Chains A and B, each alone.
Chain A
C-alpha cells in the first residue's frame, strides 16, 4: 500500500445550508431539494441517491416552496415573490415570474398537473395555468386576512385547503370562494400562545383535512362540516411539515425537535373494516428542526436545519431485505469544493460566497508509522476572495502551478492571476473575459497551467490559452446537434493531449486537444458518472459511476482495458457495491502506474491493479497489516483494494508528491456548532 506523510486538514470550515423543501417525483424517482441559500439539488434515487444536478443559489432567492408539475417540470417559489421554473437539461433558470402578491409561502401543483397554486404574504391564493414553456396567471381566490403558509389540493382537484395563521380555509376551486373556515385552538398545554401557525395541511380524498401547527398538534378536520374530528398532541414544539403517501394509508410529520412521526391507517380490531389513524413510529434522525418531509412509495424522506437529508426506507414496503433498505443520510454535496495546487502546496476552498486560499503547513520532524508530527510552520491563510453580487459560486479551480484562480457564478466568469513575491501575494483580475464565457459548470486547468478548459451551461466546451497575465480563445467544442445536455465533469490528461467530458446521463466524450476534434465516446452506462481522471503515461481514462462501478478505458486504443474487462467479469466485492457515498475524486501515483487512488466521503482506497481481485469470500476492509504474520500469509490475503477509513468525513484527498497526501476532513461536530439553536429538551438526570 505504501506509506505516506498525510496533511490532515481540518480548517475548511464549510457549513452546508439547511434544507428548506423537498419534493419527490414519482415518475422519474427523483428528489428535488432546496436549501435556505436558494440552491436546488436534484437527487436520483434510483442511481444510488446520487446528486445529479444542482442549481446555484442566490441571496435574494430564499426558496419557500418547491413542486413538480406535469411530470418533469420543476417549480420553486420564494420570499422574493417570484415563481421560478428550472431547465433540467441546460441546468439554468428558464424564467422567473412575479406573482404580485408579495413573498410566496406555499405552492402546490394540481393533481392533474396542469395548474399551479401559490399562497402569498398578502393573503391571496393565486391560480396559474401551466402551459408549455410558460405559466400564465388565471385568477385569484377570495383574499384572506393573513399570509397563506400551506396549501393542499383535494385529489379530485375540486377543493383546496389553505393553512394560515390561526385558521384553515377550504376553497371551492370553481367559484374561488371559501366554503369553510376552521379555527384552530391557540391553546398549547393549557397555555395560550400568541398565535397558532398552520405549517402544513393535507387534503385526503375522503374529505379529511390534516393540519399541523405551531402548537404541536396534528389535527383531523371534516371539510364538509368544518369540524374538528381528532386531535393528536405530538410535540412540545412546532410541527413543521406533513406529507401523505399516494395511497393515503400513511403520512409523515416532522417536528422542530427533530423527530419524524409516522402515522398509519390501521384497522381498529384485527378483522374489522373500520380503520383509524394511529401514530406508529417515531424516528429521531435529526438534531434540529425538520422543516420538510416527503413520502415516497417506499421511504420517508426528511430534511431540516441540521443540513442532513435523511431517507428512511419503510421496512414493510421493501420486498428484498438488501442494502437498499438501509437508512441513508446525505450531508455533503456530491461534487468537489476543493482544488489543490500541488506545486505550491495550496488548497482552494469554495464556499457559497467566497473562496479561501490556504498554504499547507510543513514539518521537519520525522517519526515512525502512525505518529503525529508537530508542525514547524503553520498553515497560512493567504487569500479571502469575496464574490461580487448576490449569486452563489458554482465552481472554482486553482491551477496546478498556483498562479491562476478561476471561478464562476450563474452569470459571470472570473479569472485571477496570482503573483508571489517572497511572502506576500498580489491578486490581479484578468479583465475583458469574452462574452461567451458567462457561466461555467466546471473549470479545469491543464497540468502545465497553460490551458483553461471551461464547460459552459450551453453544453459547449471552451479551450483558452493562458499567457502571462493574458489569455487567448483557442477553440470551442460545440455539443452534438440535438443535445442540450450540459457537461458537469471534466478531466484532462497530464500531457495535455486529451480532454474527457461527461454530462449527467449520456456517455463520456473524449476530445483530442491537439487536433481539436472529438476522438471517441465511451459507451453510455445506466448510472451517472461521479468522477473522471486520465492516468499519466498510459492515457487510460478511469470512470467511476454512482453505483460504485469503476471502468478503465484506454483512450489511444478506444476500448476498455484488460483490467477493466476482468473486473467487470468477476464483479466487485459486494461490500464495495454497498457503499453509499459516491466516489468524488480519482488520482494517480506518479511513480506507480499500477495504482489508482479513489475516495468517497468515508474511505480512501488505493486500487493496485497488479494484485488479484477480491472475491465475496475475502475480507474487503483489511485492517492494518499485522507485523508478526509471515510474509506468505500477508501475500495470500492481499488483494487489489487497500482501504483506509481513518479520515472521515473526507471531502478531498490528493497526492501532493510521491510520499505526501493531503486529506481534508470536516467533522460533523464542527458543523453542528455553527447551526442555529435547537429546541431545548429535558433529559432525565441532567
Chain B
C-alpha cells in the first residue's frame, strides 16, 4: 500500500489536488496515514482500489516478448519514415506556393488594362475633377454632407458615387464605375427580394399551387374541363436524379477511355 502513494500523486487525476497545492502534503500524508491506519474499507479508499485495478489491467497486456535489437530497428525505421514524409510534404508545399505565386502574377497582369488606357484614365479623371469641381461636385456633395451626420459608411458611399458619376474619357459610350459598390448594392437588393419572397411565399404562408387552385375552380364549373397543367414535375424525382448521375458517370468514363 505504501508503494502506491507516489503513483497516486503522480497521476494528475483530480483537479482539486492540482488547485490547492498549498496545504497538500501534510493533509495527504495525514489521509494516507489514516488510510494506513484503517486499510479495509470506506469511501476514501475507493479511488486507490480503482488505481490498483487499472494497474492490473496494464500488467495483463504488457508482456510481449521483443528483443532489444528488433525494437530498436523498428523504432529507427519509423523515425526515418516520419522524417521522409515531412520532407516530402515540405517540398510539395513549396512547389505549390511557387505555382500559385506565378499564377497570381500572371492574373494581375491579365487584369490590368493596357498601359496606354490606364494612363489616359488617370489623366482624364484628373482633368474632370478640375473641370467639374465647381458645378457637378457641389451638387452631389450636398446630400453627402447631410448624410455625414447619419453614418460614416454612407458618406463614404457618397464619395464613391461622385467618382461613379463622372464618365471617364472622351468616349461617352461607357461609364466607369466601381464594381464593389455595385456588388454591395446588388447583395442588399437580393436580400430585400428574398425577404419579400419569404414573407409572401415562404413557409407558413399557406399557399396552394396554381394547379390545385384551378382544379378547385374547375370542380365547381358546370362544364368540367381538363386540368390546366398536365405535367407533374414532382413525379419520379429519384429516378430522374439517378439517371442524371448515371449519365454523368458514364460520360466521365467514356472520356477517360477515349483519352487513353
Residues of A within 8 A of B (CB): 60, 62, 79-81, 97-98, 100-103, 105, 121, 124, 136-140, 143, 147, 193-194, 197, 214, 236-238, 256, 287, 289, 669-670, 672-681, 683, 686
Whether the pair B207, A678 counts as a contact (CB closer than 8 A) is: yes
**Residue B142 interfacial (CB < 8 Å):** yes
**Distance (Å) between the CB of B204 and the closest chain A CB?**
7
**Residue B201 interfacial (CB < 8 Å):** yes
Question: Which of B77-85, B108-116, B124-132, B210-218 sits within the interface?
Answer: B210-218
Whether the pair A238, B200 counts as a contact (CB closer than 8 A) is: yes
Whether the pair A680, B208 counts as a contact (CB closer than 8 A) is: yes
Contact partners of A103 in chain B: CB under 8 A: 188-189, 192
Contact partners of A237 in chain B: CB under 8 A: 205-206
Asked if A121 meets B210 with Cβ closer than 8 Å, knowing A100-B147, A137-B143, A669-B228, the reply is no
Point out the residue from B146, B213, B220 that lies within 8 Å of A287, measured CB to CB: B213
Q: 1/0 per position for B144-167, CB-CB distance to A under 8 A?
A: 001101100010011001000000
**Residue B219 interfacial (CB < 8 Å):** yes
Whether the pair A100, B154 counts as a contact (CB closer than 8 A) is: yes
Q: How far, in whole Å, are A103 and B187 apart by their CA atoms in the complex?
A: 10
**Residue B88 interfacial (CB < 8 Å):** no
Asked if A136 meets B150 with Cβ closer than 8 Å, knowing A102-B188, A103-B189, A677-B209, the reply is no
Q: Is chain B's interface secondary structure helix, strand, loop, or mixed overall? A: helix
Q: How far, in whole Å, are A469 and B66 apart by their CA atoms in the complex?
A: 95
Q: How far, in whole Å, are A669 and B223 apart by their CA atoms in the complex?
A: 15
Asked if A140 meets B150 with Cβ closer than 8 Å, knowing A79-B193, A679-B206, the reply is yes
Asked if A673 meets B201 with Cβ closer than 8 Å, knowing A62-B193, A102-B192, A103-B188, the reply is no
Whether the pair B214, A121 counts as a contact (CB closer than 8 A) is: no
Asked if A672 meets B157 with Cβ closer than 8 Å, knowing A80-B189, A686-B216, the reply is no
Q: How far, in whole Å, are A238 and B207 apart by their CA atoms in the complex?
A: 12
Contact partners of A124 in chain B: CB under 8 A: 150
Q: How far, in whole Å, are A677 and B213 apart by their CA atoms in the complex?
A: 8
Number of interface residues of B (CB under 8 A): 36
Q: 1/0 per position for B209-237, CB-CB distance to A under 8 A?
A: 11111101001100000001100000000
**Residue B199 interfacial (CB < 8 Å):** yes
Q: How far, in whole Å, are A679 and B199 apart by their CA atoms in the complex?
A: 13
Residues of B within 8 A of A (CB): 142-143, 146-147, 149-150, 154, 157-158, 161, 185, 188-189, 191-193, 195, 199-201, 204-214, 216, 219-220, 228-229
Q: A136-B142, A678-B213 are in contact. List 11 more A-B contacts (CB 8 A).
A: A98-B161, A197-B199, A236-B206, A237-B205, A238-B199, A287-B213, A670-B228, A678-B208, A678-B210, A679-B207, A680-B206
Contact partners of B228 in chain A: CB under 8 A: 669-670, 672-673
**Distance (Å) between the CB of A37 and the closest chain B CB?**
13
Contact partners of A147 in chain B: CB under 8 A: 192, 195
Q: How far, in whole Å, are A329 and B198 apart by their CA atoms in the complex?
A: 29
Contact partners of B199 in chain A: CB under 8 A: 197, 214, 238
Interface hub of A103, A237, A670 (most chain B Cβ within 10 A)? A103
Contact partners of A679 in chain B: CB under 8 A: 205-208
CB-nearest residue of chain B to A124: B150
CB-nearest residue of chain B to A191: B204
Point out the residue from B188, B213, B216 that lies within 8 Å of A81, measured CB to CB: B188
Interface hub of A197, A237, A675, A677 (most chain B Cβ within 10 A)? A677
